[in-house]
Each structure stands twice: as structure tokens, then as C-alpha cells.
Amino acid sequence: MLASKTPVSLHHRIVAAGQRRRCVGGSERKPQDRHFTQPLESLWRYSPRIPPLPAAAATGRDAKSTWQPPVLENAAFEEYYKVQQIVHKEEWDAFMSVLRTPLPATFRINACCQFYKDICSKLENDFRRYLESEVSSEYGEDAIRPLPWYPGNLAWHLNFSRKELRKNQALESFHEFLKHESEVGNITRQEAVSMVPPLFLNVQPDHHILDKAYKDTCKPQGLEFDRILCDVPCSGDGTIRKGHEMWRKWNSGMGNQLHLLQVNIAMRGIALLKVGERMVYSTCSMNPVENEAVVAELLRRSGNSVELLDVSSELPELVRRPGLSTWKVQDRGSWFQTHDDVPHDRKNLVLPSMFPSSNGTEESHTVRGDVEVNIDNRSSFLRNCNIEETSKINHDTDGLSINSNKKLDCTSNILNSKFPLHRCMRIVPHDQNSGAFFIAVLHKLSPLNGCQIQGTKIQHPHAKGIIVQPQKEHEPETRLYETILTRQQNNVSKVVDAAEVLGRQQNLSIDNQTSNDNSTEVEMVFNDVESSRAESGDMKLQKQSRWKGVDPVLVFKDEVVIKSIISFFGIKESFPVQGHLVTRSTDNARRIYYVSKSVKKILELNGEVGEQLKIVSLGIKMFESHRSKDCFSCAYRLSYEGLSLLLPYVSKRILYASPLDFHRLLQYRSINFAHFVDARFGEEAASLMPGCCVVVLLEGHKHVDSICKDPSTIAIVCWRGKGTMNVMVSPPDRKDLLERMAYRFGLKACTEED
């Protein structure tokens, strides 16, 4: 997908939502049966207790149904990873012991949310102290703590699993807090290791980022990216602590079946990467066939165009281990060191690229400078040290890394990769009480040539009848990255081509200088349909979408309506409206969405090539139609979702309320003009023409001329009725704002009766 330019400010956000994966700890988007109405301070101190189940009810259950603990054993799993030597022999018991324990819950605060500082303060000063005093005997003194390697203390580790978080009554209120903050988008509940890859992207504010897509690289490059996160589908055995099914169904063939798909997805990523920029390849698998073997094949195919970066100096608090340089391949219970050892009838399924020393592709990768490396892959880095300083030794003429204390035995049957795979990173569960993960950071030095690109279309030539099912979860986010682009076609899993239709039409120069690109999102499914041209020139989108079950994307061109909106709200000329408004309705557009300049260009190209991109959702909801007969001059009202983006450009229909009146509006939702505490505010509201308006919280000594330009300003959408001012904010958002008011100003939250 094309993702946001920066974790803090979501610019030019385009999300490819083909097969959305929900992250570990992903929020439970279920309607809440009740809303906590006491202040946040008392939310976790005085939560009601659930009474124990009556004895009669317990004994009345079916006596024959007895629960059995899950079997956390798999002999094939243990044999496989013992042979691969992914950890020291003396660490094995500790490694397996941790795998059999529940995965601790983790979450991160979204720095792009308006109230992230309040949430950080609340966690540090209130929840952390309370939980340490209440559950320290059960979960330790650091029952909740920030992850040391995540910037800004924005990610938190809990010493209890998601299940314990749900079941333990002492944690009930904290659980409710997490669910609420997740529902309104302030936090993302995600496995700790899944937070790592984006941090190695080193994203800058002007970057455009791709998360898994590819193109037919026989065509000229047009759509290129500054950063690419290539988080590929994998066997997912690194997530074995999350669920018990993996213990039962794991087999070594899971990784073998995905290897070529992973290679080709990553090669497409490299082809789309700008020269001089970086791509992060990652999996939640421990299998070297899905990890180091894939990276080695990328380096073989890319030649001198791509290098594997040493990033051991980045995120120094993150405990990681170097990648493996040697491994074996297992097929149907048999082990093979080289492709020559594979039986003839299996050579088309067990591929040369799966092995450490493959001659399947020309190995022309050059390692620059002296490489200081310990190739003993059984060595573990219990703290993050500089991998390049573990031993002082140069590569030989073949680029083979050798431990300074171990002479290479040419007669040995142990073959090592000729690439600096020690620069890859392995995260193992017992180092920091997490899941397992693999990460490699690649840097593009020069364009790929045709030979390097040719033949890398995403498909598995031997996968007939095989359905690949990615096991990794990955939740949607307000966030930096999302999902993988795959679909099942003729019982073969393939990532389908679509970026080619954009790249070959014109050289898309993505403008990143528009200040209005924040928080704009497009979700799309890429499809490998044959190219068909529509009329060129202005975007001509069909009245009916070519995709069954998906509404079309239509440029909103009703000039009368657009002018009425601009006039009614006094939208300044500096805010680009023309051509940036789209709708999904073929008639009587109920909702109007705003898209950035970059997304607008992609939509235009998509129209020119006959809607090759299947667009699921896009933009940010900016205006909604209303049916009120009180407001004839403008048929649309503002949407709270897009208010923060539009507010600096609105010059009319703005009221400024004191904290007390602002709080009362949120608390009671509808207030008569005469019932405001500030009589002057009531008079101003009464004098306003009926219709939609904005009420801004006037804090401290802020001047009204500058307050709307301040990104920290709190404002809500309201409706000026005949005799009342009515709040037009969803219950979850209203509750969120009330809790911020209670925290900032000590104002009482509303009760259930209110």
C-alpha cells in the first residue's frame, strides 16, 4: 500500500486494502453495552465488579464437557529449528519455555492524534502507579512500562496477555480505557515486534511510502517511492505465542511454499524504489527459507544495484541478533544442503534460491569495504551491539564471510551464503519477552536493468492447487502501514499487478508541497485485469463502477453546491477545493470526501486507463448533506472527521466557548441559548443564522485570530437550531472529549442520567 509520509502527520496516505490483516492486540470494534460516565480518574478506581458465577449454575453444566489444556508441542517444529541452530544449544530450553507462554499485550500511542500528550501523561502518572500498586504481586513491579526502544515512550508493554487483560477484574477498568482509546483512534493495540519495521524506514516528512505493491518492470518506471515497507505474507510461526493453532498445524512446507512469492514481492518493491532510498523487508517467521534465503536471492538478482545495510547503530535499545549465514532446506522430512541433493522429481518445488549458496542467478553483489562479522550463526547478541565490530576480517574474493576464529574447511558440507546476511536482524522471543521477527534493510544504489527485472512477476509457477494463507496479523492504523496485496485466483495465491498501469501512462510526480494533504487516505485493491483505455484528458469516471459491489468514485462537480459551501462557511481561497472533492454516490451525493493532490492525480490516471485500480475507500469525509428546512442557503454541513483539516481555512460561522460552556455542550448535547453560563455566548449563538457551525474551545489567553490555526485547538461541529445549539459528534468522540476536559480542567463528566 501507499502509506503516510510520516508517523506523526499522515500525508498523501494511500492504503491498498486487498487482504487486510488485523494486528496483534488490534482493537475490538464492537458496540459498547455501556459508556463509563464517571471522570477518567475514577474510571479505573471504582469500576463495578462482576459477581462470581452461582454454584448452582456451575454444577448445572454438562459434566461430560471437561476442558483440556491445549497441547503446546510439535516435534517437527523443534527438530526443524534445532537443525537450523537459530539459538544456542544452551538457550534452547529457555527459548521453548517462552514460546509456550502467552504473549504480553502491547500498544502504541498514535502521535498524530490530538490528545497524545494527555494520554502519555495519564499512563505515566495515573495508570502506571495504580497498576503497580494493585497487581504488582501478580505481574511484577513493572506491570506496565514503555518499550525502551520505541521513540518518545509512545509504545507500552504490559506484563499480562490480552486474555488476562479481559478476564482479570483488577484490570477491567484499564481494559475499558484501552478499548475506548483504540475505538477513537488514539492508540493502536499491536504486537511489539510489528512496530519495529517502520522505525527502520527512517521516514521523512516529504516521503511517499509504499507498503507492498509491484509493477510490470518491463515498462518505464513512473510511480516510484522514497520508502517501501515489504512486510510479506509468511508462515507466521513467529506469532506462535498468540494462538495455539500454530502448534498443531505447523510444518516446514509452509515456508517453502511461500519462498518464491516473497522473493517476487520484494523484487517488485525494489523496482518501485527510488535510487538512493531504502526498503525494509520483514516477516513474522523464524524460517531462514522465508528470511535470509529471500534476502540473498534479492541481492543475487539485483547485483550491484542494491546493498544490505548495517543498521545496528539504530534503535540501540532493541535487542536483536544477526541473520544466519547457513541453513538447510527440508522437504517431506528429508534434509538438503544444496539443490543438487534434491531428488529430480522435487527440484521444481524445492528451488535453488532456497539454499545458502545458490548458483541459480548470477552472484555479482559487491560488498563495499571491509566487513567485520562473526559468521557463527549460533552466536547470540544478548544486547544490541555493532554487528560490524564483532570480528575484524575482510571478505575473500568470493565475498564469503568467515569467522576469524574458524577457518573455512573447503571439504566441509556446511555451505555459507556469500552475502553479508549478518546485517539482517532476528528478534527472538526470550530476549525481550516478545514474538519472533525478521527484518532486513535494503538500499538501492542504482536502477535495475531489464535482465534483473525480467521474469519476476508475482506468481508461483509450481503452485497449482496450492492456496497460500498468510498467518501474520496486521491491524489497520491511523498509522504508517497496513496490508498485503494478494488474492486467490484459480487456487493459486498471487499478488496482482496494477502499478504498471499508472507508471506506463505518465511519469507521476507526486507533489508533497501541498499543506492540505494531511490525513488523506485511499484504500484500494489492485487487480491484474487487461489494460483498457478510457478517454484521456479530464478524469472521466463511469457512472457505474466496473467493479461488482463497489461504488464508483466520482468527482463532485456541482458548481452551485460547491460555491454555496464555500460562501456559507467562508472557506478561504488558499484551501484547494476544485477537483479535490469526490463522492461515491451516482445521484444525490450524501457524503463528500476530500482528497489530496497526490491522490487526485492517481485517480485521474486510474480514470484514463479504465479503472484498473479497484478503490474501496478514499479521502477524508469533509461534508455531509442534511435535510433540515431551516437552512436553505447550504445543503451540506461540516463533518467532524474533516474539521481539523478545514478549520484553519474557515472564516465564517465560528463561535468561541469558555471551557465550562464547551463542557456543557458535550455533556448535554443540546442546550437552549438562554441556558449557557456565558450569556454573551448564548446571545452570539442566538444571533447566528440557522444551520451548521463550529464551536471552538477558548483556552487561557489565546487570541481568537490565531486559535483556529493552532493544531492543538479543540473544536466541534454543531447545529444552530430554532432555539438550541446541538452537538454533531459521535458518542465515542464526545466521550473522548469529555474525558480530556475532565483531565485538563477538572470538570465533572456526565452521568448516565445526563
Q: Per-residue pLDDT for 450 more than 90?
A: no
Residues 202 and 265 in one domain: yes
Residues 305 and 200 in one domain: yes
Least confident of 211-215, 378-382, 586-590: 378-382
Q: Say if strands 225-231 and 209-210 run parallel, antiparallel, or are unpaired.
A: parallel
Distances (CA, A) of 92 to 82, 289, 437, 723: 8, 21, 17, 73
The chain-wide mean pLDDT, for the chain, equals 75
Q: In which band, very low, low, confident or very high, does the pLDDT at 208 lie, cut at 50, 70 and 90?
A: confident
Contact between 305 and 448 (Cβ < 8 Å) = yes
CA–CA gap between residue 285 and residue 252 (Å, rounded): 11
pLDDT at residue 751 in the model: 54
Residues 214 and 180 in one domain: no
In a domain? residue 455: no
pLDDT at residue 321 in the model: 97
In a domain? residue 162: yes
Please give the grid coordinates belonging to residue 411.
571439504
Strand-pairing partners, residue 424, are none
In a domain? residue 523: no
Contact between 233 and 484 (Cβ < 8 Å) = yes
Residues 340 and 250 in one domain: yes
Residues 718 and 638 in one domain: no
In a domain? residue 81: no
Range of the domain at 422: 196-357+417-444
> Measured on CA atoms in the order 676, 681, 686, 692, is the torsion positive or negative?
negative
Give the chain's domain count.
4
Q: Which of 679, 558, 681, 552 is nearest to 623 (CA)?
A: 558
More confident residue, 725 or 370: 725
Please give the grid coordinates belonging to residue 261.
512469492
Residues 658 and 642 in one domain: no
736 annotated binding-site participant:
no
Reply yes or no on whether 218 is catalytic: no
Residues 123 and 249 in one domain: no
Residues 557 and 635 in one domain: yes
- In degrees rounded to 5, what are phi and psi of residue 159? -80, 25
Helix, coil or strand: residue 650 = strand
DSSP 209: E
Helices (H) and strands (E) in the chain, counts: 22, 29
Burial class from Cβ neighbours inside 10 Å (0-12, 13-18, 19+) for residue 153 reads: middle
Of 444, 463, 494, the last residue of a domain is 444
Of 23, 284, 692, 693, which one is the catalytic site residue? 284
In a domain? residue 136: yes
Q: In which band, very low, low, confident or very high, does the pLDDT at 171 lie, cut at 50, 70 and 90?
A: confident
Q: Per-residue pLDDT for 538 more than 50?
A: no
Residues 423 and 351 in one domain: yes
In a domain? residue 542: no
Of 163, 190, 217, the last residue of a domain is 190
Distances (CA, A) of 173 to 131, 253, 599: 11, 44, 41
In a domain? residue 541: no
Strand-pairing partners, residue 308, are 442
Helix, coil or strand: residue 696 = strand
pLDDT of 588-639, one tens digit each? 889 999 998 888 887 887 777 777 677 888 899 999 999 887 777 899 999 9
Relative orientation angle of helices 659-668 and 731-745, to the nearest 10 degrees: 150
pLDDT of 59-94, one tens digit each? 545 545 677 778 899 999 999 999 999 999 999 999
Burial class from Cβ neighbours inside 10 Å (0-12, 13-18, 19+) for residue 410 reads: exposed
Q: Which of 384, 285, 126, 430 is nearest to 294 (CA)?
A: 285
Please give the grid coordinates belonging to residue 645.
483539516
Contact between 209 and 2 (Cβ < 8 Å) = yes
Residue spans of beta strands (DSSP E) within 513-639? 521-526, 554-555, 581-583, 591-594, 613-618, 620-625, 636-638
Q: In which band, very low, low, confident or very high, does the pLDDT at 749 lie, cut at 50, 70 and 90?
A: low
Q: In which band, very low, low, confident or very high, does the pLDDT at 740 lie, cut at 50, 70 and 90?
A: confident
In a domain? residue 503: no
Distances (CA, A) of 635 to 319, 557, 693: 57, 15, 13
Of 138, 164, 190, the last residue of a domain is 190
- Which stretches within 435-558 are classed as H helix? 450-453, 499-503
For 503: left if phi > 0, alpha if psi spans -120 to 50, otherwise beta; the answer is alpha
Residues 214 and 313 in one domain: yes
CA–CA gap between residue 526 and residue 534 (Å, rounded): 18
Residues 223 and 329 in one domain: yes
Residues 730 and 610 in one domain: no
Please give the grid coordinates belonging to residue 314.
539504530
Tell me what the mean pLDDT of segment 280-284 comes to: 98
